[in-house]
Amino acid sequence: MKKIGVVDTTFARFDMAHAAIDEMQMLSPNIKIIRSTVPGIKDLPVACKILIEEKQCDIVIALGMPGGQPIDKQCAHEASTGLIQAQLLTNTHIIEVFVHEDEAENEKELAWLTEQRTREHARNIVDLLFHKEKFQKQAGKGLRQGFADAGPLP
């Protein structure tokens, strides 16, 4: 039984953890979910590291929705840097799923994008745990999470 950490925020405007957990449970009965919700994206790195080191999670999905202002971009940069450090300190993957508020044209598209990207990365989590060989087959295919794939160069 593999343990998957799911970390999300109250700052996000969409229940990303619900989408991620729903997707992962559809794909695999053989997982245990451990969830942690924190205020904002800068709280994600340590929350992920705690799930790995103190709750023995095998992998973590880190979910967040940075705002659209310059200060939000800076926060996202700090959070991402921290998430990479947390991975290096634990030799464990943390898949970051960030949806920036200015990526979509309107709130409806933003909700769609957030759910779509979250579910696609949730599948990546399951594949990293159980079907690592799938990634090699898709290497260089220009895959994207959320919007359409870019596809391989012609």
Q: Which is nearer to its own copies, 8 or 23 (CB)?
A: 8
Q: Closest approach of Cβ 4 to its own copies, in Å? A: 16
- The β-bridge partners of 31 are 2
Q: Are 13 and 65 contacting, i.e. CB atoms less than 8 angstroms apart?
A: yes
Residue 70 has phi, psi (to 5 degrees) of -55, -40
Longest dimension (CA), the chain: 47
Q: Closest approach of Cβ 133 to its own copies, in Å? A: 9
Structure-block tokens of residue 69: 């202002």
Q: Which is nearer to its own copies, 26 or 150 (CB)?
A: 150
Q: Closest approach of Cβ 100 to its own copies, in Å? A: 7
Alpha helices, DSSP H, located in the chain: 16-27, 44-54, 70-90, 107-130, 133-137
Q: Which is nearer to its own copies, 57 or 80 (CB)?
A: 80
Q: Closest approach of Cβ 25 to its own copies, in Å? A: 16
Q: Which is nearer to its own copies, 30 or 69 (CB)?
A: 69
